[in-house]
């Protein structure tokens, strides 16, 4: 491990590492070996088109897709027919907002101030067209108050979109209470569960939401595939597709299905369901060890997000008296981020931390650590020493 002396360059003790310790599992996760093994046959042996109904290649592909659909559904405790495959969470979020609001011919849309950009940007686009938008604020922990959502409802409100677990600070929101308030007013609720599914138990039926977005690469599956979950009981949910052509996925998402990726998605969901009994507690213990170790070595640390109601692998910290840009450049041996990977090119401070009332200087000096399935205790010990040494050096 790296010595704690402030004048020791961190790189000198890290040169023996083949590559940096990966602590950016909110940006993406390593594909699980079980997932890779399940996908491989669908590249060179069972490579048929799932829409080809006249021969064995198509039948095999179709059967594999439906098995994967069932695996995704079992993770969420919902019917398999509720799953519509997409290219990822961003497409699913766009389908939810644009699909519902355009099918309704306009109306009022409610989102929170700490949603992912794939919610906020479509919402802004809709507000420039035929829709009205309300952005509900959050508290200092990034938590969305169900009463604030209820107070924002209007007779013309069509849809409320609330993130289940925040992608930057990990705060988990009470979707059930929000959904019940909306259901009493006949308002649809969409939930971005991209960061939550597979990391904590997510029960679609229990949450009582109408629509939910998922992405495979956040739960040790491949990139480029995700899903929209659409409630099938109760009154029909009208959605206008984002694009036309072929009528795939019950006419909700036209386009040739990426069979290998969908198989990988299903396998990732199956592995996640089997791991939920032990994996979250193990990861949370490593996260708490990282926070305790950094707190012992450094002063001027601020924990961002809810202290307990947060994702097991999330640790978002602001480092006082450190230039954030220099800190990120200096941490060459630990892969972390300063916020959402989807907005890392944006020089502006995190909109999530800003909404929580975090001062700009602290916001710019914040790091998001994302621990995951393959994070080891040895890596955490290295990371806490390495980050502490780097911060001390920069503060000098």
Whole-prediction pTM: 0.91
pLDDT at position 120 is: 97
pLDDT at position 346 is: 54
pLDDT at position 338 is: 82
Domain boundaries, the chain: 21-32+277-395, 33-275
CB neighbours of residue 239 within 10 Å: 24
Taking each helix axis as running N to C, give the angle between helix 117-127 and helix 89-103, from 0 to 180 degrees, rounded to the nearest 10: 30
CB-based contacts of 296: which residues, under 8 Å, 6+ apart? none
The per-residue pLDDT string of the chain (396 residues; one tens digit each, 9 = 90 and over) reads 333 333 333 343 444 568 899 999 999 999 999 999 999 999 999 999 888 889 998 999 999 999 999 999 999 999 999 999 999 999 999 999 999 999 999 999 999 999 999 999 999 999 999 899 999 999 999 999 999 999 999 999 999 999 999 999 999 999 999 999 999 999 999 999 999 999 999 999 999 999 999 999 999 999 999 999 999 987 789 999 888 877 676 767 878 899 999 999 999 999 999 999 999 999 999 999 999 999 999 999 999 999 999 999 999 999 999 988 899 899 999 999 986 445 445 556 799 999 999 999 899 999 999 999 999 999 999 999 999 999 999 998
Q: At 157, which helix (H) or strand (E)?
A: strand 157-163
In whole angstroms, give the CA distance from residue 349 to residue 363.
Answer: 6
pLDDT at position 234 is: 78
Return the CATH fold of 33-275: 3.40.640
In whole angstroms, give the CA distance from residue 224 to residue 90.
Answer: 10
- Which residue in the list 78, 182, 191, 342 is annotated as catalytic? 342
Return the CATH fold of 21-32+277-395: 3.90.1150
Domain 21-32+277-395 shares a fold with domain 33-275:
no
Q: Answer positive or negative: Cα dihedral of 147, 152, 156, 160.
A: negative
pLDDT at position 243 is: 86
CB neighbours of residue 29 within 10 Å: 24
Please indicate whether residue 78 is annotated as part of the active site: no
**Of 1, 109, 80, which Cα lies nearest the Cα of 262?**
80
pLDDT at position 214 is: 98
């Amino acid at each position: 491990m790296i010595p704690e002396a402030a004048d020791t360059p961190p790189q000198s003790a890290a040169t023996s590492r083949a590559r940096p310790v990966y602590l950016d599992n909110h940006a993406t996760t390593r594909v699980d070996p079980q997932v890779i093994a399940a996908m491989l046959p669908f590249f060179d042996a069972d490579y048929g088109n799932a829409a080809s109904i006249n021969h064995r290649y198509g039948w095999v592909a179709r059967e594999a897709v439906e098995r994967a659909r069932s695996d995704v559904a079992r993770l969420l405790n919902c019917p398999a027919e509720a799953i519509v495959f997409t290219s990822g969470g961003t497409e699913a979020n766009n389908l939810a907002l644009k699909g519902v609001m355009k099918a309704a011919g306009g109306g009022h849309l409610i989102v929170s101030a700490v949603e992912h950009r794939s919610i906020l940007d479509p919402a802004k686009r809709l507000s420039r067209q035929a829709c009205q938008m309300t952005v509900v604020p959050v508290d200092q922990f990034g938590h969305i108050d169900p009463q604030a959502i209820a107070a924002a409802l209007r007779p013309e409100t069509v849809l409320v979109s609330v993130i289940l677990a925040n992608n930057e600070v990990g705060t988990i929101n009470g979707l059930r209470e929000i959904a019940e308030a909306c259901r009493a007013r006949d308002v649809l609720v969409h939930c971005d569960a991209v960061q939550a599914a597979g990391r904590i138990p997510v029960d679609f039926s229990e949450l009582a939401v109408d629509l939910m977005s998922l992405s495979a690469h956040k739960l040790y599956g491949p990139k480029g595939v995700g899903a929209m979950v659409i409630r099938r009981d109760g009154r029909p949910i009208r959605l206008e597709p984002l694009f036309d052509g072929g009528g795939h996925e019950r006419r909700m998402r036209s386009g040739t299905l990426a069979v290998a990726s969908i198989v990988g998605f299903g396998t990732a969901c199956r592995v996640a369901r089997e791991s939920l009994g032990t994996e979250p507690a193990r990861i949370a213990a490593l996260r708490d060890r990282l926070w305790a170790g950094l707190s012992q070595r450094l002063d001027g640390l601020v924990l961002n997000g809810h202290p307990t109601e947060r994702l097991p692998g999330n640790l978002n910290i602001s480092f006082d008296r450190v230039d954030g840009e220099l800190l990120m450049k200096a941490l060459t041996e630990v892969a972390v981020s300063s916020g959402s990977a989807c907005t890392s090119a944006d020089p502006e401070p995190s909109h999530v931390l800003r909404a929580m009332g975090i001062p700009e200087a602290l916001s710019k000096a914040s790091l998001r650590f994302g621990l995951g399935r393959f994070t080891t205790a040895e890596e955490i010990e290295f990371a806490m020493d390495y980050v502490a040494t780097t911060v001390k050096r920069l503060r000098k």
